[in-house]
Structure 1
Amino acid sequence: MSSSENRKILFIINPISGNNQKNDVEGEITRFCKTHSLPASFLETTGENDEERITETINNNSPDTVVAVGGDGTVNLVASALINTKTKLGIIPTGSANGMAFELNIPTNFEQALSVIERNASRVIDLLKINKKHLAIHLSDLGMNARIIKRFDQEKIRGFYGYARQFFKELKSPSHFKCIVDCEGKKRRKYKAVMLVMTNTHFFGTGAVVNPTGKIDDGKFEIVVIKPYPWYYIFHMFLAFFTGNIHRLRHIRTLSCRHARIKMQPAQDLQVDGEPVGELKQLEVEVLPSAINIIYNHQENHFFVKT
């Protein structure tokens, strides 16, 4: 850990993320940083040329830590500017979806999350690249959940209730698709699936464990295939998700890869870190080893702190 006097922290604030619309976010951060002698500067996203503005601000200020204040989409945006640099990525979770913050054990309480940034414990982790275009810092998926997120994105009802509403709509008639998965160095696999998850993290933002056997820094990622299941099996799956046993079920297959090509029939919705991408028939996924140095809460004990 570095001493506070040697640190320069840049906070990237998404002003329309979650509760940020109601709170004086910059004021709260400023008060905390003054109390703890942390030098801080700020940049707000506007939705226009944000990636370029973030990169320019980083180049001009040379911070040792850049903190994304928002949801998974904001974290993804900031991470894109920090890949393969020594600059640390921090997170203050304020979004509708805070999956990566949950993975890192970062509290949703504002001051507690700032305390994690102050402690400055970090670790180098892998990321994913989708179709050589989309960075995935948390997880990406095809099929059922991506459709839920697309409808959630179009809804006026936000938060957990909005997501749950779309989830139960989808649950009534989960459509399946055919897919062919080519993992580098492995036999081609064919599946019927309702959903494919591509991730090297462990949790959905809800706390459900989708990838209990993966490691966040082993140079590999997992493809979790959820096959069609009878309606009555959903209760068994819920229990397995929240006890970390989903990989043991007969309707689940987990493949570990460094690079994979996936073909779907028919085309399926894709989401990356909570952002709908559109319908695709083909997908290429590759791991970006040791891509970013990220701050996490070392005082708690999720899967992340295991080696």
Structure 2
Amino acid sequence: MADSEKRKVLFIVNPISGSNQKYRLTDEITRICEKHHLIAEFFKTTGENDKQKISKAIEKHAPDVVTAVGGDGTVNMVAGLLKNTGIKLAILPTGSANGMAYELNIPTNMDSAIGIIARNVSKRIDLLMINNQHLAVHLSDLGMNARIIKRFDREKIRGIYGYSRQFFKELKSPSKFKCIVQYKDRHPRKYKAVMVVMLNTHYFGTGAMVNPVGKIDDGKFEIVVIKPYPWYYIFRMFLAFFSGRIHRLRHIRIISCSYAKITVTPPQDLQIDGEPTGEIRNIEIENIPKAVDVIYNDRQEHLLFKPSRILK
């Protein structure tokens, strides 16, 4: 196959993400791309003016696909630059948190993931805009999980063990807060909560399904309110999360909308795609329909729970 017939893929590599520090990643990607008849180009992030530099790299290389090589934070940055451009987004999951890769059924095996890029099956999906400032690709939340991620971000222990350690610390005494949700022309809904999740995806990165009722491309998103629960309810919650039945529990409320405002008292930690943003009292969320064209795995062979509602 002539080079002029091959598709060009620009890989945006976060060199400090997960396993990217362990071996010569670009050499391995180049080798696999050659096998799949793809031309690989690379840009490595430095943490300084990355968005501007990536934009210039996209202009220079004119790729067919831009691939985020890292975790959810890297995916978020790349997706924001590709929004409404027509250039496809792909994911090579190598981060501590790979929630969006799990959502799109992208395995961590590099050869398999690049094979999915080569198959080029894609779909336009919705994104969320938060406070007219932050883009959310996978999910955002207030309260318990955001505090876990903030502590996890400060710890030197990474991976699932590091997250689990912080999770069980928080589980012992989750903090309650008041929450008011305003959407459409309805009266504000008031709740007591330990966590509020905003997403149009389905899964946490662990594979727990927090949103069984949503679709990733229907012009709406879901607000999942997790209300205070007694300690003995934890095991039932775990079972419901991993069986896709969380919406049937009396301690869960799910609201579908395209725009909403949320007020919490006292202010709560907010995280967006695995990145802590600090405490906040008011949050405004708007759905951005069909904002980015993303490559996904349509064969669904690696997930325990099949995402039947995701990409229909």
Describe the superposition over 1:159-216 as per-residue Cα deviations: whole angstroms up to 9, x where unpaired. 1010000000000101100011001233310000000000000000000000000000
Is the contact made by 2:105 and 2:296 (CA closer than 8 Å) also made in structure 1? yes
Greater mean alpha carbon deviation, residues 45-54 or residues 185-194: 185-194
Partner of 2:220: 220
Report the equivalent of 1:191.
191
Distance in 2 of aligned mates of 1:226 and 1:92: 31
TM-score for both structures, normalised by structure 2: 0.96
SS in 1 for 2:127: strand
CA distance in 1, matches of 2:38, 2:111: 14
Q: Is the 8 A contact 2:203 2:210 kept in 1?
A: yes
Alignment correspondent of 1:281: 281
Q: Which amino acid aligns with 1:10?
A: L
Provide the C-alpha distance between the structure 1 equivalents of 2:284 and 2:191, rounded to a whole number of angstroms: 17
Contact 1:104 1:304 (C-alpha < 8 Å) held by counterparts: no
Deviations 1:123-182 (A, max 9, x none): 000000111111100000000000000000000111101000000000010110001100
2:112 corresponds to 1:112: yes
Task: Provide the identity percentage.
Answer: 66
- Aligned twin of 1:303: 308
Look up the SS of the partner of 2:29 in the other structure. helix
Secondary structure, counterpart of 1:303 in structure 2: coil
Q: Does the 8 A contact of 1:64 with 1:86 survive in 2? A: no
| 2-structure distance, mates of 1:236, 1:65 | 42
Q: Is the 8 A contact 1:103 1:304 kept in 2?
A: no
Maintained 8 Å contact 1:4/1:37: no
Residue matched to 2:37: 37
**Once the 2 structures are TM-superposed, how far is the Cα of residue 37 of structure 1 from its aligned partner?**
2.0
- Matched residues in 1 for 2:34 and 2:213: separation? 41
The correspondence of residues 130-209 of structure 1 with structure 2, limited to 5 A, is: 130-209=130-209
Q: What amino acid does structure 1 have at the position aligned with 2:307?
A: H
Secondary structure in structure 1 of the residue aligned to 2:82? coil
Q: What secondary structure, in the 3-state scheme, does the structure 2 residue paired with 1:289 have? A: strand
Partners of 2:214 and 2:309 within 8 A in 1: no
Structure 1 residues 4 and 35 mapped into 2: Cα distance closer, same or farther (>3 Å)? farther
- Match of 1:203, as an amino acid? Y
1:94 and 2:94 correspond? yes
- Which residue identity does 2:308 align to in structure 1? F
1:39 aligned counterpart, secondary structure: strand
TM-score by length of 1: 0.97
- Structure 2's unaligned 5+ residue stretches are 301-305
Cα–Cα, structure 1 residues 179 and 88, in superposed 2: closer, same or farther, change >3 Å? same
Number of residue-to-residue matches in the alignment: 305
Instruction: Say whether the 8 Å CA contact 1:179–1:263 is kept in structure 2.
Output: yes
2:303 aligns with none
- Give, in whole Å, the separation in 2 of the partners of 1:221 and 1:259: 8
Deviates more, 1:105-114 or 1:194-203: 105-114
- Which region of structure 1 is more displaced relative to structure 2, 178-187 or 110-119? 178-187
The alignment partner of 2:165 has SS state of: helix
Residues 130 and 283, structure 1, Cα contact 8 Å, conserved in 2? yes
Secondary structure at the aligned position of 1:150 is classed as helix
**Please, which moves more after superposition, 95-104 or 38-47?**
38-47
Give the structure 2 partner of residue 84 of structure 1.
84
Q: Separation in 2 of the partners of 1:35 and 1:254?
A: 45
Please give the alpha-carbon distance, in whole angstroms, between the structure 1 residues aligned to 2:67 and 2:183: 34
How far is the alpha carbon of 1:24 from its aligned partner? 1.1
1:6 deviates by 4.4
Distance 2:52 2:112 in 1: 30
Shift of 1:4: 8.8
Are residues 4 and 295 of structure 1, via their aligned partners in 2, closer, same or farther at CA, if it must alter by over 3 Å?
farther
Matched to 1:117, the amino acid is I
| 1:18-37 alignment, distance < 5 Å | 18-37=18-37
Partner of 2:240: 240
Pairwise CA distance, 1:61? 1.8
Contact 1:223–1:254 under 8 Å retained in 2: yes
CA distance in 2, matches of 1:153, 1:142: 16
1:16-60 CA-to-partner distances (Å, cap 9, x unmatched) read 110110021100111111222211211000011001111111122
The Cα RMSD (Å) is 1.2
Q: Matches of residues 3-82 of structure 1 in structure 2 within 5 Å?
A: 5-82=5-82
Counterpart residue number, 2:229 = 229
- Contiguous gaps of at least 5 residues in structure 1: none
Aligned to 1:129: 129
Separation in 2 of the partners of 1:303 and 1:99? 17
